[in-house]
Every structure is written in C-alpha cells, then in structure tokens.
Amino acid sequence: MPMRSSSSNLIHGRILLVDGNAAGLAARKTVLEEQGHKVWIATGVTDALDQFAGHKFDVVVTDHKPPRMDGLGLIKKVHALSADTPVVLLSGLVDALGLTEHSTGAAAVVQKSANEVPHMVRAVARMLKRKPVKKGPASEAGKARTKRVGNT
C-alpha cells in the first residue's frame, strides 16, 4: 500500500523498475528514490517476474523492449498475477508504433525524450494516487453516488 509522507502531500510507493539499459535503469532509479520511493530493479523480464513473485509492488515501470520479452508481454504477465498493479510503459517509439494505454494495457505510456523524467515522475504519482478498483458488488457509497447522479 502506498504511504503518504507526513511532511508533504507526496505519496511514496514500492516500485519495480525494468530496463535492460544499465545507465537508464540507474538514472531512473535515482530519480524515483529522490522522490522518496523504494525502488527495486530488474534487468529483464525473467528477473522482473522473479521479483514480482517475491514482493508486493505499487507500480511497475518498464521499458518497451527489456531483454527476452517485450514490455507488452510483461504487462500481460503482471496483470495476470495482480490485475490491480498499474504499469507505466516507457518507449522511444511511442508515436511511431502508436503505443497508447488502450493498445498496450499500460496505465500510462511515456515517450523517452528530454522530458521523460518529469513525465515518468508524474505518471508514477498518478498511479499511486489511484484507488484500487474493488471487484464484486458495488459498495453502499457507490450505490448512493449512482442514485444521486441518476436523480440530477
């Protein structure tokens, strides 16, 4: 469960970061840790899935082309193991490949560019603020909201 910092309105989470590029992995890890997150790293999909099996993560951030499987395959495997875990997909080919949240299954897609870091940080923050979707019957509060909306 993400933790809210007592000194600010920031939410800190447990993040799995996946990338085959050691320099990119180290840079992103440093940035996310500076934001107060606990970050685990994986250099490929097999390593990522091993870590995912052993830890609970609030967010997974993956490169589109980590070694041994693409990021889309990793997104499917993460969602099969934990449907509520959001995945942020990073790619230098977002526009060229038409990568979107809808086409990839990612909760957010971030273009690798000079502006990648602030976009990634904002995407992670958005994912940590999201409430997990409850499966099953609607809650009483949800029923009341639906009723009010229907009456207006």
Residue 121's Cα: distance from chain center in Å? 10
Task: From 63, 42, 43, select the one nearest 54 (Cα to Cα).
Answer: 42
pLDDT of residue 138: 43
Q: Give the H/E segment covering residue 87.
A: strand 87-91
Q: How far apart are CA 28 and CA 40, in angstroms?
A: 11
The dihedral formed by the CA atoms of 109, 115, 117 and 121, expressed in degrees to the nearest 10: -60
Residue 60's Cα: distance from chain center in Å? 4
Delimit the domains of the chain by residue range.
3-151
Give me the residues paired with residue 111 across strands. 91
pLDDT of residue 131: 57
Domain 3-151 -> CATH class? alpha beta
- pLDDT in 10s for each residue of the chain, 152 residues: 455 444 445 678 999 999 988 898 999 999 999 999 999 999 888 899 999 888 899 999 998 876 566 778 888 999 999 989 999 999 887 877 778 888 888 999 898 888 889 999 999 999 998 855 444 444 344 444 334 444 43
Pairing of strands 108-111, 87-91: parallel
DSSP-derived 3-state class of residue 45: helix
pTM for the model:
0.77
DSSP-derived 3-state class of residue 42: strand
- The contacts found for 113-119 with CB under 8 angstroms, 24 or more apart, are 116/90, 117/28, 117/31
